[in-house]
Structure 1
Amino acid sequence: MARKFYTVLILPDASSQIRRFHIAKPLFSAISVTAGLIFVAFLFLIYQAVGHTGHMLELRQLRATANGQTDLLQKFERLENQMTQLREFDLRLRTAAGLEVKDAERAIVGVGGADTLSSRALMVAAVAHQGVAGDSSETIRPDNLGGELDRLSREMNDRNKSFQGLIGSLEAKRSLLASTPTIWPVKGWLTAGFGQRRSPFTGQRQMHEGVDIANTVGTPVIAPADGIVRYTGPLGGFGDVVSVDHGHKISTFYAHLQQHKVSQGQRVRRGDVLGLVGTTGRVTGPHLHYEIQVNEVSVDPTKYVIDQETVKYLGNGDSAE
């Protein structure tokens, strides 16, 4: 009859007696099965722990990505709002400056992109922070956001070019305004206006290409606009004169000066002293002969002056003989 148990021999050391243990075969089988199950369970737990760790890392990465996309969406929202303000500012400036606004309007209408992106940004941010999975049709994919950022970048470049052109136009207008003689060069009385008049020397009617403003000798004569002095010195019957080129084909001429205070080639600003009222040349009394030429053609200076009260008219303002 076969044995129903296993014998286990244990020898602690060479001098010790051998110890024998008898283990029944059913018990040994049960212990073996139990150990196998414990080992399998241990392996399963290790697998689950590793898988859980991987899922945790993936979840953290997803959260970091969601937070990053949320930040990008919020930044895009701010940029979009700023761009809207720039569009309005560009349009207002062009309107105020009297410039063409159709191109600016076309630039606004011509840009593409998702017209609901800005309104979705806050919703996507809220979903990301709350950890709620939203409808994929209502979220912004990264590739869509990249396209919108590219579109916004292109519009910013176009807007920058528009502003550069606007600045150039405004600078030209500022230069034209600064070069336009809009103030009287001297205070006094208008003794002779622009146009046909009877000469006080010959009695014949002739063209008077400027205006005569009477005042005492030594009264300062100022530049009515920015410009460059082109000539100073004596000029026949005009006496001591100053000629100023203001650019934009505008120039001014000052005659019968007692003394000029500028030199040829000097740059002057509106309000700088050009000379002093005098009696040089062919005159009947101290006064300033003042002319404005546009495209080398004399025009009526009173059409350019803003402050009409600086010079008082004699009578009804007609040319005095």
Structure 2
Amino acid sequence: MATYFQRLFLCAMTIGKKISFIILSHGGNRIKQLSVPVSMFLLLALVSICSVTILGFVLLDYHGLRQQVAETGRMAQRMVDQQNEITQQRLQIQSFAREIDTLKESLVRLNRFEEKIRVIANLDPMAEDDNLFGVGGATPEDLDPQLELSQGHEDLMRDMHAQINELDSASHRQQSSFGLLLKKLEGRNNLLASTPAIRPTSGWVTSRFGYRTSPFTGRKELHKGMDIANRKGTAIMATADGVVSFVGNKSSMGKMVVIDHGHGMVTRYAHLSKTLKKSGERVKRGDIIAQMGSSGRSTGPHLHYEVQLNGVPVNPAKYILN
């Protein structure tokens, strides 16, 4: 305790004193004396010490800040790289998904094609398991951005592989079904050639088979065929092999050609502008038999096409494969 007061007393005693600096000129002829109070000297020393200390802290903070900026830059680059990787993987998965969808559509078209062949060949419909195959699952849009990249990607790829396996199984079932179908069709060449299977003309369908409001009476009535519109003079083709059983006019139907294909199958072509075959002539599928017109009761150039099975009109769309 005494030592502390002694130091305090010494400091107080030196406050009024000065420190003198003698400055000599280069030649030593002139002498200058600079006196600085001890208190000012101590103050300058204290300021210098504080300044050096503060500068040291600033330099340390600056170094730490530089490290933080560098680490932030590295993190930002990692995020950009990860985002680029996610984008690349998403593009790959989208391409993969499009290929799966294309394969699905192809299998569906084959499935429907087989159904039509079975109808035309008068065969039993496909088994339920073969006819209704369902393939569904996740898509690239299901990739949750909140999940880790590897986890979300692995889940999606696992689901898509399951879809591919199901499609592969469906493809094998389809091949097996086609094989059985071909065996059943062997020896039925005459029946197939005599069954309507193509579009009778080009153009667009303006009215389908079924009940509709008549454009002439305004009442609902059964439309027994399919109307296909196009320019007057458009070629009309036989849709299957057969014998022309009628050529002439039939009141509201106008000029008409009827073909008997055997096996209870008959096709009728009405509203023609010109007929090119005679009754009794044998025709092949694809032969041009007439030209489109607007004869009879008609609102414009079109073909009225009917398919009859054992005298009963049936939907012609079921007998068009092309």
TM (norm. structure 1) is: 0.44
- Which protein, 1 or 2, shows the higher relative CO under an 8 Å CA cutoff with sep ≥ 6? 1
TM (norm. structure 2) is: 0.43
